[in-house]
Structure 1
Amino acid sequence: MTISSIILVVAAVFIGALMRTMFGFGEAIVSMPLLALLHIPLNTSVSLIGLAGLTVASLTVVSGWRHIERPVLIRLAASTVIGIPAGLALLHYAPSLIITSALGVFLIAYGGYSLLKQRLFQAVDKPLLNSKGWVWPFGFASGVLGSAYNFNGVPVVVYGTLRRWNPDRFRGTLQAHFLISGILVVTGHALGGLWTADSLILYAYSIPAILLATGLGIFMNKRIPAKKFERYLFFIIMALGVLLLIPHD
């Protein structure tokens, strides 16, 4: 790869890591399309972002540990393990365009609905998912989408907003989940033969950018007002949905 290509890849990883640190999610959905525009092979992109995401989670989980919803985290981890093999099969056999397009439509619809509902019913603060059993399908979906496309955060983000988690609990639980699922997903990538020499080299080049993005993101997220956090979250969910619908070939 040329030096200019490496710089652009590192920039894509930096932007994704900054998004993840500020809001707790969104790294893969931002970085993967950017890497596709650079014509980076899918296997290389998936393994690179998997490693980058695990690094960010490792750096940020300590600061939010006391806000983690531990019973939910345990169920998420267990159901994620079940979903990982299905995701690896999905990566090899299902057309990625269909999967990512469907996910994009869902995110736009969900984000738009949530914003509209928030404006019309601002006094409604009760969780929409009260049953503990709901965590299992969301965790399974996290395992599937994580091992296939590194989108393991999307189902947990939706679950967290439906549970009405406050910003600290949202970020803390998400980062702890990313740490656990990241280890599992990266292991799955290695065993599934997705690691390439290019992905490991690009990851090594990206480490300084990841460290910088993490420090900057932690600084910035402390300055986001709690009352505006959820609204920003829904806007970002819609924007990420639009990103998924943009052709990248």
Structure 2
Amino acid sequence: MTTTLIVSVIAAVFVGALMRATFGFGEAVVSMPLLALLPIDLHTAISLIGLAGLTVALLTVVSGWRHIDRPILLRLAAATLIGIPAGLILVTLMPASVVTAGLGFFLIAYGGYSFVRHTVVKAEVQPRFTANYWALPAGFAAGALGSAFNFNGVPVVVYGTMRRWDPERFRGTLQAHFLISGVFVVGGQALGGLWSPDLFVLYGLSLPAILAATLAGVMINKRIPAKKFERYVFLLIILLGALLLTGV
């Protein structure tokens, strides 16, 4: 591997880790298109993002464990585990391009509607799906989409915004969920033979950048006013939807 390639990989991992540490989601959808432009093995890229995401989740959970909604997290995690086998069935029945396009359109529509309603119309929006049992279908969808297409964050992000979690609760609960699901995802990647010698080299070289991005993201998150945080999240959801569509 050339120095230029290594620096490019580290930069892609840094951008994704910064996104995840700041907002609690978005790492894979941001980093994977960047890594796809580089001449590295796809399995190595997928596994690298998995390890980086698990590292960010561990660090942010440690720093923000007080803000985790534990009852919701337990329901999300249990339902996610149940949804994982369903995702394996889904991937055999439905092409990834169809699911990706559907999610992309949904995220753009949902993010655009929510942003306009909160920012332009300035309508008072009440939290929805406040009953704890709504975490079960969200977690199930996260498990299914995560095991099939690595989109485990999408249902939980939508669920959190509908409940109108404050920034600390939103980020803390998402990271805790990603930590739990990430352990199973990374373990599955290892058992599935996706790990390679290059993976450990790139992960070791990227680790300082991951730590720096996590620290910077935590600081940025604390400086974002709560009223503006929701707007940024909705804009990010629109961006993620657009990235999914461009990757179809």
Q: What TM-score does the superposition give when structure 2 sets the normalisation length?
A: 0.91
Question: Match of 2:123?
Answer: 122
Please say if 1:166 is aligned against 2:166: yes
Question: Match of 1:49?
Answer: 49
1:88·1:192 contact (CA, 8 Å) conserved in 2?
no
Distance 2:42 2:89 in 1: 15
1:107·1:238 contact (CA, 8 Å) conserved in 2?
yes
Q: 1:63 is paired with a residue of what secondary structure?
A: helix
Distance 2:40 2:174 in 1: 28
**Which 5+ residue runs of structure 1 have no aligned equivalent?**
none
How far residue 239 of structure 1 moved from its aligned partner, in angstroms, is 0.8
Q: 2:223 is paired with a residue of what secondary structure?
A: coil
Distance 1:3 1:186 in 2: 27
How far residue 92 of structure 1 moved from its aligned partner, in angstroms, is 7.1
Code of the residue aligned with 1:122 in structure 2: it is A
Question: Match of 2:243?
Answer: 243
The 5 Å alignment of 1:30-109 reads 30-88=30-88, 95-109=95-109
Which deviates more, 19-28 or 135-144? 135-144
Distance 2:106 2:236 in 1: 13
Change in 2 beyond 3 A, CA 1:203/1:40: same
Change in 2 beyond 3 A, CA 1:6/1:147: farther
Question: Match of 2:7?
Answer: 7
Distance 1:196 1:28 in 2: 19
The 5 Å alignment of 1:145-184 reads 145-184=145-184
How far residue 88 of structure 1 moved from its aligned partner, in angstroms, is 4.7
Question: Match of 1:142?
Answer: 142
How far residue 108 of structure 1 moved from its aligned partner, in angstroms, is 0.6
Change in 2 beyond 3 A, CA 1:162/1:38: same
Code of the residue aligned with 1:204 in structure 2: it is G
Question: Match of 1:192?
Answer: 192
Code of the residue aligned with 1:16 in structure 2: it is G
**How many aligned positions are there?**
247
Distance 1:56 1:91 in 2: 27
How far residue 93 of structure 1 moved from its aligned partner, in angstroms, is 7.2
Distance 1:86 1:5 in 2: 37
Code of the residue aligned with 1:162 in structure 2: it is M
1:33·1:244 contact (CA, 8 Å) conserved in 2?
no
Which deviates more, 168-177 or 146-155? 146-155
Change in 2 beyond 3 A, CA 1:101/1:71: same
Distance 1:5 1:76 in 2: 38
Q: What TM-score does the superposition give when structure 1 sets the normalisation length?
A: 0.91
Identical columns (%): 66
Distance 2:186 2:88 in 1: 11
Distance 2:200 2:148 in 1: 18
Change in 2 beyond 3 A, CA 1:93/1:15: farther
How far residue 94 of structure 1 moved from its aligned partner, in angstroms, is 5.0
Which deviates more, 83-92 or 220-229? 83-92
Which deviates more, 221-230 or 83-92? 83-92
**Which 5+ residue runs of structure 2 have no aligned equivalent?**
none
